[in-house]
Structure 1
Amino acid sequence: MSKLMEKDGQSIFESIKKINEYGAEYWSARDLAKVLDYKDFRNFETAIEKAKKSCETSDHNVSDHFVEATKMVQLGSNSEREVKDYHLSRYACYLLIQNADPSKSMVALGQTYFAVQTRKQELQEEFELMDEEKKRLAIRNELKEHNKKLVDAANSAGVKSNMEYAIFQNHGYQGLYGGLNAKDIHERKQLKKSQKILDHMGSTELAANLFRATQTEEKLKRDKVKGKHNANKTHFEVGKKVRDTIEELGGTMPEDLPVLEDIKKVEKKHKKLTRNT
Structure 2
Amino acid sequence: MKADLIYELLGKFESACYDYNGIECWSARELQIILGYAQWRNFENAIDKAKITCESSGNAVSDHFADVSKTIPMPKGAEKMINDYALTRYACYLIAQNGDSAKNEIAFAQTYFAVQTRKQEIIEQRLLDIARVTAREKLSKSEKKLSGIIYERGVDDKGFAFIRSQGDKALFGGFTTQDMKRKLQVPDTKPLADFLPTLTIKAKDFATELTSHNVVEKDLKGQNQISNEHIDNNKAVRKMLQERGVQPEKLPALDDVKKVQRKLESEDKKISKTTAKLNTKKKKD
Deviations 1:87-113 (A, max 9, x none): xxxxxxxxxxxxxxxxxxxxxxxxxxx
Q: What secondary structure, in the 3-state scheme, does the structure 2 residue paired with 1:199 have?
A: helix
- Tell me the equivalent position of 2:123: 127
- Tell me the equivalent position of 1:169: 164
Q: What secondary structure, in the 3-state scheme, does the structure 2 residue paired with 1:229 have?
A: helix
Choose the corresponding residue for 1:264, options 223, 233, 258.
258
Q: What secondary structure, in the 3-state scheme, does the structure 1 residue paired with 2:252 have?
A: coil
- Alignment of 1:137 with 2:130, yes or no, is no
Q: Which structure exhibits the higher relative contact order, with contacts defined as CA atoms closer than 8 Å and separated by 6 or more residues?
A: 2
> Alignment length, in residue pairs?
154
- Alignment of 1:183 with 2:178, yes or no, is yes
> 5 Å matches for 1:89-100?
none
How far apart, in 2, do the equivalents of 1:163 and 1:144 lie?
Answer: 17
Q: What amino acid is aligned across from residue 254 of structure 2 in structure 1?
A: L
Q: What secondary structure, in the 3-state scheme, does the structure 2 residue paired with 1:270 have?
A: helix
Deviations 1:164-211 (A, max 9, x none): 111111111111111122111111212121221111112111111110
Please report the TM-score for the alignment, with normalisation by the length of structure 2: 0.52
Q: What amino acid is aligned across from residue 275 of structure 1 in structure 2?
A: K
> 5 Å matches for 1:91-110?
none
Deviations 1:233-271 (A, max 9, x none): 011000000000111122x22111111111111111111
- Tell me the equivalent position of 2:211: 216
Choose the corresponding residue for 1:274, options 243, 268, 271.
268
Please report the TM-score for the alignment, with normalisation by the length of structure 1: 0.53
Give 1:125 shift: 2.2
- Identity level (%): 26
CA RMSD of aligned residues (A): 1.4
- Tell me the equivalent position of 2:240: 245
Q: What secondary structure, in the 3-state scheme, does the structure 2 residue paired with 1:141 have?
A: helix
Deviations 1:73-132 (A, max 9, x none): xxxxxxxxxxxxxxxxxxxxxxxxxxxxxxxxxxxxxxxxxxxxxxxxx93222221111
- Tell me the equivalent position of 1:230: 225
The answer on whether the counterparts of 1:157 and 1:220 sit within 8 Å (CA) in structure 2 is no
Q: What secondary structure, in the 3-state scheme, does the structure 1 residue paired with 2:167 have?
A: helix
Runs of 5+ unmatched residues, structure 1 = 1-121
Q: What amino acid is aligned across from residue 142 of structure 1 in structure 2?
A: K
Q: What amino acid is aligned across from residue 243 of structure 1 in structure 2?
A: R
Give 1:155 shift: 1.7
Q: What amino acid is aligned across from residue 241 of structure 1 in structure 2?
A: A
For the pair shown, which has the larger CA radius of gyration, 1 or 2? 1
The answer on whether the counterparts of 1:168 and 1:235 sit within 8 Å (CA) in structure 2 is yes
- Tell me the equivalent position of 1:200: 195
